[in-house]
A and B are shown apart, each in its own frame.
Chain A
Amino acid sequence: GAVVSQHPSRVICKSGTSVKIECRSLDFQATTMFWYRQFPKKSLMLMATSNEGSKATYEQGVEKDKFLINHASLTLSTLTVTSAHPEDSSFYICSARGPSGGSYEQYFGPGTRLTVT
């Protein structure tokens, strides 16, 4: 099956620093990837849609200058949290649309837990 990886799985950073999270589709090409944020015992909230070779589309209320997304290749999308603050601490999950491109066919990465101190 389609596998999506994320790196790192866990990161702790100091307030004011930037953190980059990588999302890779390991055995398929993904023209579209999605970035979600999940708070404890809460649902996944879509942050942005990342399309290879073009600018990401951000959901309402998500600061695009704070959450920089780059989708430079068909297998890699990155999310950079700039000038992180404690309120940015969360579980960040990416997903990639599967090989068939179906609306339902999304494969999720294992997530990255970000803690900002």
Chain B
Amino acid sequence: QKEVEQDPGPLSVPEGAIVSLNCTYSNSAFQYFMWYRQYSRKGPELLMYTYSSGNKEDGRFTAQVDKSSKYISLFIRDSQPSDSATYLCAMSAGGTSYGKLTFGQGTILTVHP
């Protein structure tokens, strides 16, 4: 079993739709949860960061973490064609693993006009 599971999609939605992206994980030591956006042939760009359980909102993006279920989500409201990219969840534990990120496979999202 992979440490982090993410549905690779692809996911295609119309402009203006609400998008839900999810990851599950098995390592209970993970404390830091990130979402990255990666455009084709580019490096990942940090979108959202959450520590432990809870919700975090930033503009059209909302990140949720449920540590009891080992499940994290990213919601995109009013999706735009410019949101078309691969979305990667990433997680990190503290302690000796500080800073080491474990990534999900990435979900390919296409928002069509």
Residues of A within 8 A of B (CB): 4, 6, 32, 34, 41-46, 49, 91, 93, 95, 97, 103-111, 113
Q: Could you tell me if A104 and B49 are in contact, using CB atoms closer than 8 angstroms?
A: yes
What is the size, in residues, of chain B's interface with A at 8 Å between Cβ atoms? 27
Segment 54-113 of B: residues with Cβ below 8 Å from A: 88, 92, 94, 98-106, 108
Q: Is the interface of A mostly helix, strand, loop or mixed?
A: strand
18 sample A-B contacts, Cβ–Cβ < 8 Å, listed by A number: A32-B99, A41-B8, A44-B88, A45-B103, A46-B100, A46-B101, A46-B102, A104-B49, A104-B51, A104-B92, A105-B46, A105-B49, A106-B46, A108-B45, A110-B43, A111-B41, A111-B43, A113-B41
Out of B32, B36, B108, name the residue touching A103 (CB < 8 Å).
B32
